Structure 1
Amino acid sequence: MTKKAINTITALLILVKAVCLLTFAKFVRVVRSIFSSLPVLWKPRRISHKYKLLPFVLTIVVILAIAACQNDKLQLEKKQTSSTAGRSPIATKVINHALGQVEIPLKPQRVIVLEENLILDSVVALGVKPVGVVFCRDCEENFRGIPNQLLTNVPVVGSIGSQPSLEKILSLKPDLILGLTSLKNSYGLLSQIAPTVLIDFPSMYDFKERLRYVAQVLGKSDRAEELLTQYQNRIQKLRQQLGQQLKTRTISVIYLAGAADIFYTYRPDFLAFGQIISDVGLQLIQQNQKQPQLTLSIEVLPQSDADTLFIMTELLARDFKQANSQPLSFLQKPIWSILKAVRNKEVYRVNWTVGGPIGANRIIDDLFKYLVNAA
């Protein structure tokens, strides 16, 4: 075979290999154009004796090239399959939330919580450390009911009552964002960063129900049931130690506000402290309140009198707090002196604005401290 024929075969082989990944139709067109450029292949009557074997040789070359091409494809597909197996798609599930349905990871790994109490407590209690949180700027605690050390080094992306930093949230690369429906106006932007689940607090005010829901979202339902079992065990122990007090002792819980001239009371089942007191079986003075919240003048405080009075002071005005460094200085006002709890020295300042099992344990600790150990 002449050098020219060899060069022709080599060139043809290279071209055939070059179009290996084309569709068959494109491959045929390319090969046909190659052949048409070689008159010797299409005009056999002009072929000299020394070229008679060239068509046969070229046919063999094409067959071998196609076979090689197919082998390369199989090897490539095998590598791609192996690579895909190593990077399997993230499993997802569909969750119903306050604004509809959303597809989220089966077990989210990078969670941002845009709420510092009602949702965050459950997230942390379930063993998930968020990659971003918001805090309460004007509260007595940054994360109400949750010790700060549980959120050490967690980036802060904003504060309650203000727009969180979308830039910070984006930089943290979350795979899930949790918040309340107060963020519904930002939902469109947040959901472009990561799947976003919003909870409507008035529809899910029971902290145990909320814990179960958050656990479902995070793929931690078994852990939620463990936490609730631990909670029930502590409640049962407290009931046993309170004994007859369950029948005789009355409890009142108020939020003192402003300059200690107004106070708030809540329907017993609406906030976690009322749910816990109810589970214990203690008699709450506000037991018959129908409204979720009442704002009352200090003049009607005697209507909330009880054997034991628990007061929360986080709603007191900042100026009042600064002018009254003693936490219970308001007890010196005449209206307080007529209360049974004040006369019996059973007025206790507490932080019971909690949203989940971590805060619930604080309330139970206080009930042991003030009703059992102090008895």
Structure 2
Amino acid sequence: MPVRESASTRNTFASTFSPLRHLRSVVLVSAATMLTVGLVAGCSKTDDNSANIVRTTTNIAGAGVVGLERDTAKACPLPSSPDSASGTKTVNHAAGTSEVPADAKRIVVLSTPALDAVCALGLWERVVGAATVTGATAQPAYLGTGIAAIPGIGPVGDPDPAKIAALKPDLILGAAADGNRYDALQAIAPTVLVGDENGWQATFSGFAEAMDRKTAGARALDDYRTAAHDAGVAANSSFTQASVIRFDPKSIQVQGGNSFAAQVLGDAGVQRPQPQRADSFEVTSLSTETDRDKIEGDLIFLMFDGPDGLKYGKSIMQGDDWKKLGAVMDRREFAVEDAIWHGSGITAARALLDDMRANLNGFVGD
């Protein structure tokens, strides 16, 4: 969908006219404000064009909440096959070199990207322990209720070595940030720590190799890329410039081209506003048109960094400067799940594609 015409600098986003901007009159009943962010799609059939428009019916400070009906029952596929039937293999990783089993049976996971990778390769039932995240659930909800029941080993960034050792793992997976405890972990079981400096797809491939699923990992990425392309085509993504922002407790973090959300949207062909095509940056005021143009778009996907980010975000969204944004006036602001849009991994990426496809051409109902 092209950008609405106005005197703002966002006139430069696109020039193709779309009738969708004239179809904002359908009104649906708004539900109570909710913190959990997810997708709900409501559509009232009035004519051929409006039948294709999604209108969300639950909101946070006016933003439609995306993903409330997300089905996580099949978030993790069936188990994939290892590259080797038995034995061990040498894996080079961020903390050194490890000799890992060809088909690990008892896996401990120290980070969400690692857990996402285990899920994406169908091996989540082999996870005997996982580091927990802050929030309402011990693990991100998008990974499903089975993963939520995995025993905890302490929080991400500070796992308990004694709890890990008691689980008798044959493989430990974590992030490069766990490097300061690598020797202690390696003494318990073969440990592979993967960095994120080369992007989320390279991170996923590193974990896949550690689980002796290099072939399955490559296939999963190919399937994801096909899904991203198809989702973009279905949503006519090349006609829309999507702004993506994250409210932290004190500022607005604009998600630039180096962010996970931007990379996934790019794979689907979604365009980004010109100011958001470089790396992520911070905005602390919306008092001027120049400030507002930094977060403007055909629509805005927004997320909150925990309860404090939600509190700050609502204070901004209820202010007059926020309401001057064209996307807000058009009722095209959508609250998305932070664990997904600010995450890393194929499972999160697929969930993000679902959100994009269902809402890229959407409006928020009154």
Q: Deviations over 1:93-112 (max 9, x none)?
A: 11100122111112211111
Who is 1:80 aligned against?
Answer: none
Alpha-carbon deviations, 1:164-204, whole Å to 9, x = none? 11111001001111111221111111110011111122x23
**Alignment match, 2:172:** 177
SS of the equivalent of 2:105 reads: coil
Aligned equivalents of 2:217, 2:348: Cα separation in 1: 15
> In the superposition, relative to structure 1, how do residues 287 and 229 fare at CA in structure 2: closer, same or farther (>3 Å)?
farther
TM-score in terms of structure 2 length: 0.68
Aligned partners of 1:290 and 1:238: how far apart in 2?
A: 24
1:132 aligns with 2:129: yes
**CA–CA distance in 2 between the matches of 1:133 and 1:294?**
32
| Unmatched tracts of structure 1, length 5 or more | 1-89
What TM-score do you get using the length of structure 1 for normalisation? 0.66
* Structure with max Cα Rg: 1
Higher relative contact order (CA 8 A, sep 6+): 2
SS at structure 2 position matched to 1:267: coil
Counterparts in 2 of 1:345-356, with a 5 A limit? 345-351=331-337, 352-356=341-345
Name 1:102's counterpart in structure 2: 98
SS of the equivalent of 2:202 reads helix
Question: 2:191 matched to 1:196?
Answer: yes
- Is the Cα–Cα contact under 8 Å of residues 144 and 354 in structure 1 kept in the other structure? no
Superposed CA RMSD? 2.5
- Aligned-partner Cα distance in 2 for 1:176–1:278: 34
Q: Whole-Å Cα distance in 1 between the matches of residues 319 and 230 of structure 2?
A: 38
Superposed counterparts of 1:248-287, under 5 Å: 249-258=240-249, 262-268=251-257, 270-285=258-273
Tell me the CA shift for residue 372 of structure 1: 4.5
- The alpha-carbon deviation at position 240 of structure 1 amounts to 2.1
CA distance in 2, matches of 1:140, 1:306: 31
* Residue 308 of structure 1 pairs with residue 299 of structure 2: yes
Q: How does 1:147-158 map to 2 (within 5 A)?
A: 147-158=143-154
Q: Which residue of 1 aligns with 2:223?
A: 230
Alpha-carbon distance in structure 2 between the residues aligned to 1:178 and 1:342 = 42
Contact between 1:92 and 1:103, CA under 8 Å: does it hold in 2?
A: yes
- Structure 1 letter corresponding to 2:209: Q
Distance 1:145 1:98 in 2: 28
Asked if the contact 2:275/2:294 (under 8 Å) is kept, the reply is no
What does 1:1-375 correspond to in 2, within 5 Å?
Answer: 91-116=87-112, 118-129=113-124, 130-137=127-134, 139=135, 142-144=138-140, 146-161=142-157, 163-201=158-196, 203-204=197-198, 206-243=199-236, 245-247=237-239, 249-258=240-249, 262-268=251-257, 270-285=258-273, 289-291=277-279, 293-299=280-286, 300-315=291-306, 317=308, 321=311, 330-351=316-337, 352-372=341-361
Segments of structure 2 that go 5 or more residues without pairing to the other structure are 1-85
Bigger proportion of residues as helix: 1
Residue 254 of structure 1 and its aligned partner are, at CA, apart by 0.5
- Give the Cα separation in 1 of the matches to 2:275 and 2:209: 31
Give the SS at the match of 2:243: strand
Matched-pair contact (CA < 8 Å) for 2:173–2:207: no
- 8 Å contact kept, 1:187–1:196: yes
Aligned counterparts of 1:196 and 1:144: Cα–Cα separation in 2:
23
Sort the Cα spacing of 1:287 and 1:95 in 2 relative to 1 into closer, same or farther, 3 A. Answer: farther
Aligned residue type for 2:335: R
Report the identity percentage: 26
